[in-house]
A and B are shown apart, each in its own frame.
Chain A
Amino acid sequence: MSSPAKPRSGVAEWFDARLGISEVLAFLRHKTVPLEGATIWYYFGGVSLFLFGIQLATGLLLLFYYKPGADSAYESVQFIITRVPFGWLIRSLHSWSANLMVFAVFVHMFSVYFLKAYRPPRELTWLTGMGLLGLTMTFGFSGYLLPWNELAFFATKVGTDIAGILPVIGPAVARLLRGGAEVSGATLTRFFGFHVAMLPAAFTAVLFVHLLLIQRQGMSESIRSTDTPPKPGMPFFPGFIMRDAILWLGVFAALLILCTFSPWELGAKADPFSSAPAGIRPEWYFTFVSQSLKYLPAQILGIDGDVVGICVFLGGALFLFFVPFLDRRAARNQPSPLFTAIGVGIIGFMLTMIALAYFKPY
């Protein structure tokens, strides 16, 4: 359906003739978002995207003053938050929105999981989404080290050591990440490169495919018996986009409130020759791993406990990654309570470990 041609200025027409914007708009008007009880969950992908935009904008601004290097990184962040006008705000926005983005991405992933929206033909959307989740966590891990503070230093030591216990490729991976045998200034330089160049490029490419797939296939509708007729949906443009925009504004307001009343801390400068401080923990989204490792004994059936633990986590990640191909019932458009139960189990485990890490770390 082509919308009735409104009188337009010559400039708009000139661009439209070259870019075909009206066709895109017509497509977006035609596309509908299913209106069901679960609609609230459809917003979290958009929120993640919005927060990624904030990351890009504030990240670019931080690059104006940040200086990587063991002797300059901490000092430059200190300079940003104490001397540069609004530096505290830009840095806090970057850290806070990074954390909210990880949260939004996790909510998005689990909502897609529980709605079984990964079922055919959307397997590739799920796989690219899992790729984006992995990249988001890698962003978090690499960015955490950049201020070169005590907590980040030890978190990186442990994190890269965990990479080192992976079977076969582990030692090479750990060395590659650290830029040497130990976490040092060389590690910081590498993480900086990952964080500001390689990861953004990879993320943008995967995100493009992810969004393209969503636009082509439309949003998934939940599993229901074929004799109930689908409810009429809401046009993606302008209806859903406007709702998205309102929510984004709300998220932005929440971010600013967080940054103003609880600016992100810098902590003490990393000292490779000091003890790890008591109560040390990684960013909250890695605490479910670090907390579980505390409960594992030195040996399980003759294998080092941490190796067993990491292999279990890897298995869990692989399960989530390949779930569109494992959940055969959902693929046939039938409810799959087993997979729902597994999802509840995973969330329950993660939340318990995160709570323990914060309230009863030892």
Chain B
Amino acid sequence: MRMEAEPSNRLSRRSLLDAFLSGSVLAFLGALFYPVVRYLNPPEVKEVVANRVVAAKVSEVKANAGKIFRFGSKPGIVVRLPSGEWRAFSAVCTHLQCTVQYRSDLERIWCPCHNGQFDLTGKNVAGPPPGPLERYDVTVKGEDVVVSRQA
């Protein structure tokens, strides 16, 4: 056979052609799927970053109660402690991003999705959440409860 006459370390014509052929098939598939993959990945949309927002009216939230408010593109929670003091946190659970709520019976912030609990400093104290809720500053100006990001 002719093949045997060729030195074994030399590339045969067939394998060179095969390499070119499979290379161009790969390049073709790459050119085909690259735009598709890029297309499916949504473009970065600038997030609305709010640093200060009127979260509630003082009269809306009784002592030992909470309220969800919109903080930029994410929900926040403002809580009025039984003592009357105000606290505010991100309302996005650190476990799997459910929106938390205030449980007056437990005096804790509670996530109904997987039974996670946070105390009123935002610390994760029971259940699966791996970290604390981000805490915000609260100031009361007249009737407005103003929440701002901590510096």
Who on chain A is nearest to B76 by CB? A273
B150 within 8 A of A: no
- If A175-B41, A275-B99, A275-B101 touch, does A294 touch B68 (CB 8 Å cutoff)? no
Task: Say how far B128's CB is from chain A's closest CB, in angstroms.
Answer: 5
Which residues in B have their C-beta under 8 angstroms from that of A125? none
Contact A157 B40 (CB under 8 A): no
Residues of A within 8 A of B98 (CB): 154, 157-158, 276, 280
Q: Closest approach, in angstroms, between the C-beta of A193 and any C-beta of chain B?
A: 10
Give 15 new A-B contacts, CB below 8 A, not counting A157-B97, A276-B99: A158-B96, A158-B97, A176-B40, A176-B41, A186-B42, A273-B75, A275-B100, A276-B101, A278-B101, A278-B112, A280-B113, A296-B128, A297-B128, A305-B130, A306-B128
Residues on A lying within 8 angstroms of B by beta carbon are 154, 157-158, 161-162, 172, 175-176, 178-182, 186, 272-280, 290, 293-294, 296-299, 304-306, 361-362
Q: Are A276 and B111 in contact (CB under 8 A)?
A: yes
Tally of contacts, chain A with chain B, CB under 8 A = 85
Annotate B85-102 by CB proximity to A: 1 below 8 A, 0 otherwise.
000000100011111110
Chain B residues, Cβ within 8 Å of A181? 47
**In the complex, what distance in Å separates the CA atom of A275 from the CA atom of B75?**
9
Q: Which residue of A lies closest to B70 (CB)?
A: A273
In this complex, what residue of B is CB-closest to A272?
B75
* Contact of B112 with A304 in the complex, beta carbons under 8 Å: no
Q: Assess A154 versus B128: contact at CB under 8 Å? Given A272-B75, A280-B112.
A: no
B45 touches A180 (CB 8 A): yes
Contact of A306 among B40, B96, B111, B112 (CB under 8 A): B96
CB distance from B29 to the nearest CB of A (A): 19
Once the chains bind, are B112 and A279 in contact (CB under 8 Å)?
yes
Q: Provided the pairs A172-B41, A181-B47 are in contact, do residues A298 and B114 lie with their beta carbons within 8 angstroms?
A: no
- Which residues of B lie under 8 Å from residue A273 when comparing CB positions? 68-70, 75, 99
* Cα separation A361 to B127 with both chains bound (whole Å): 13
Chain B, interface size category, equals: 20 to 34
Instruction: Pick the contact of A154: B68, B99, B129 (CB < 8 A).
Output: B99
Q: Taking CB as reference atom, which chain B residue is nearest A276? A: B98
- Chain B residue, CB-CB nearest to A275: B101
A112 vs B74: C-alpha distance when bound (angstroms):
46
The answer to whether A161 and B42 touch (CB under 8 A), given A275-B68, A298-B130, is no
User: In the complex, which residues of chain B have a beta carbon less than 8 angstroms from the beta carbon of A296?
Assistant: 128
Nearest CB of B to A173, in Å: 11
B64 interfacial contact with A, CB 8 Å? no
Q: In this assembly, does B115 line the interface, its C-beta being within 8 Å of a C-beta of chain A? A: yes
Against A, the Cβ 8 Å flags (1 = close, 0 = not) of B54-96 are: 0000000000000011100111010000000000000100011
Mask of B102-117 contacts with A, CB within 8 angstroms, 1/0: 0000000001111100
Q: B42–A158 contact, CB under 8 A? A: no
Q: Are A276 and B113 in contact (CB under 8 A)?
A: yes
List residues of chain B with CB within 8 A of the CB of A280.
98, 112-113
Residues on A with C-beta less than 8 A from B74 are: 182
Residue of A161, A297, A299 touching B97 (CB-CB under 8 A): A161
B115's contact among A157, A162, A175, A362, by CB below 8 Å, is which? Answer: A362
Which B residues are CB-close (under 8 A) to A362? 115
CB-based contact B68/A274 at 8 Å:
yes
CA separation between A161 and B69, bound complex, in Å? 22
Chain B hits for A278, CB < 8 A? 101, 112
Residues from chain A with a CB closer than 8 A to the CB of B114 are: 290, 293-294
CB distance from A79 to the nearest CB of B (A): 28
In the bound complex, how far is the Cα of B117 from the Cα of A362, in angstroms? 12
The 10 closest A-B CB pairs, nearest first, are A275-B101, A161-B96, A276-B98, A298-B130, A294-B114, A278-B112, A158-B96, A179-B42, A294-B115, A273-B70
- Residues of A contacting B112 in the complex (Cβ-Cβ under 8 angstroms): 275-280
A162-B96 contact given A175-B42, A278-B112, CB 8 Å threshold: yes
Looking at the complex, which one of A182, A274, A306 makes contact with B95 (CB distance below 8 Å)? Answer: A306
Q: Are B129 and A298 in contact (CB under 8 A)?
A: yes
Residues in A whose Cβ lies below 8 Å from that of B45: 180
